[in-house]
Every structure is written in C-alpha cells, then in structure tokens.
Structure 1
Amino acid sequence: MNFSWRIPPWERGEDCTFLAVTLTDSGDGQYRHVAEGVRGDDPIEALADLLMAPGSLLGLMPSYPGLIGVVVRRGIDSTWLAKPPVQVGRDERGRWQVGIAQTDLPGVTVFTPTEISGLVSRLQSQYGRRTR
C-alpha cells in the first residue's frame, strides 16, 4: 500500500498540528498517559508521525502488550498535555475502553491497538523498520 503524502510527516520540517495521547496499562487496573505534539494533515498522518519518530517504542515493536490506545486531537492544547479528558475503563469482558469526556470536541480520533499495529505493519512495509 502506498501512502498519499509526498513527504512523510516524520520527515517534515513543520510545527506540530496534532496532539497524540498514548495510553498504556500500568497494572492493577490503572493506566498512564503520555501526550506529545505530532505533525500531519489528518489523524492517520499524525499517528504515523508518532509511530515513526526516532525512539518510538510503538513503531519498533510489532505488538505493544501494554498498549490501550492512542487518542489524536487536532491542535495543541496545554490542558490536554497535562491532563487529557479521556475516560479509560474496562468493559464487562475485561477489555480496555477509551472515551472522551468532552463530547463537543471535533477532530478527536481514538485508535485501537489493532489499528495501530496495522498501521505499523504498513509503514514498515513501505519505509522499513526505524532503528533510532
């Protein structure tokens, strides 16, 4: 599969246009988050920038066992960097579920571990595995 961009987001010399919040299982039913700015023209490109950035564990590992998901939001917001309004919990089958506390926010996308690993595979197939 070919991507539609001319220059991959992780190789662009531009300011960040999205915020990515990576959610991981920290044990005992708890989770932790890491928020960072990423580049791209849409949520998929923003996620690709996160995955292919040098040192990204998500891009290096075919499956990330503690990964709950990644929430991508258009725009940079300092409140989201400190405490993103995500709701994370387990459903009746024990699977992690991610929701957004502020329902009036446009431009927010939640990616599941399955979607993320699929994109990692496509990116590695097209661009090779990142080793930095």
Structure 2
Amino acid sequence: MTFTWKTPPWQRNEDSTHMAVLVADAGDGQISFNTQSVRGDDATEGLADLLMGPGGAEGAAVLLPGLLAVVVRRGIDVMWMAQPPIQVSPAGDGGLNIAVAGAEEGEVTAFSVEEAKALLDRIKAEYEAGQ
C-alpha cells in the first residue's frame, strides 16, 4: 500500500496544523483527554503524525490502557487543547457516541482505536519494509 504524501507527516519540518486528542477511559465512569499538536494536510495525516511522531512513540499511543478513540481537529486552539469540548457516551451497539461542541462540518474527525491501529499497521508495513 502506498500513501499519497511525498514526505510522511512525522518527518516534516513544519508547524503543527491540527490537534489530536487521545480519549481514554480513566475508570469509575470518568473520561480523560490528552491533547497534542500534530502535523498534516488532513485528519488522517494528523493521526499518522501522532502515531509515528515523538508523542506517539512509533505507535505506542494506540496501546494506551483504556484508549477509546482519537479525535483530530483542524487548526490550533490553545483553549480547545486545555479543555476539549468533547462529550463521550455509550452507543446502543456497544460503541461510542462522540460529540464535539461547536465543531463545524469537516473540522473534526474521530477515529476508533481499531481505525488507528489499522493505520499504524499500514504505515509500518509501508515504511518498515524498506529498512
């Protein structure tokens, strides 16, 4: 599988363009958020930067205990990073409903843990094969 980027986001020397929020189960019904700025042209590239960049420890981010989802938002907003306006509730099918207050269409993308792991597997297959 090949990716459309010329330079992987985690290898770029550019300013961050997105914010990534790790949404995790903190126990006792509590949800924790860990935010980080990431690079990329879109949400998928931002997730790739999170996974492979310094903060993702080459994929360790998706192995965090209790990780529920990763939410990627276009743009950098310090207030949003300090307190992401994300609401998480259980869905009837065993999944999660993730709502982001004030988000405009296309501004925020939520990735399930399975989607993040699948992207990590694709990246590793593409980029570790040549090493």
TM-score (norm 1): 0.86
Question: Aligned runs of 1:100-111 on 2, under 5 Å?
Answer: 100-104=100-104, 106-111=106-111
Confirm or deny that 1:78 pairs with 2:57. Answer: no
**Change over 3 Å in CA distance of 1:105–1:97 after alignment to 2:** same
Rounded to whole Å, the distance in 2 between the matches of 1:96 and 1:105 is: 19
Rounded to whole Å, the distance in 2 between the matches of 1:91 and 1:58 is: 30
Q: What is the deviation of 1:92?
A: 3.8
**Change over 3 Å in CA distance of 1:17–1:119 after alignment to 2:** same
Q: Could you report, residue by residue, the CA deviation over 1:1-31 in whole angstroms, capped at 9, with x for unpaired residues? A: 1011111000000000001111011111111
Give the equivalent residue in structure 2 for 1:44. 44
Question: Aligned runs of 1:87-98 on 2, under 5 Å?
Answer: 87-92=87-92, 94-98=94-98
Q: What is the deviation of 1:75?
A: 0.5
TM-score (norm 2): 0.86
Question: Aligned runs of 1:1-132 on 2, under 5 Å?
Answer: 1-54=1-54, 56=56, 59-60=59-60, 63-92=63-92, 94-104=94-104, 106-128=106-128
**Change over 3 Å in CA distance of 1:57–1:66 after alignment to 2:** farther
Question: Does the 8 Å CA contact 1:71/1:110 hold for their aligned counterparts?
Answer: yes
Aligned length: 129
Rounded to whole Å, the distance in 2 between the matches of 1:62 and 1:17 is: 21
Q: Aligned partner of 1:76: which letter?
A: I
Q: Aligned partner of 2:22: which letter?
A: T
Percent identity for Structure 1 against Structure 2: 45
Rounded to whole Å, the distance in 2 between the matches of 1:8 and 1:71 is: 20
Cα RMSD, aligned residues only: 2.2
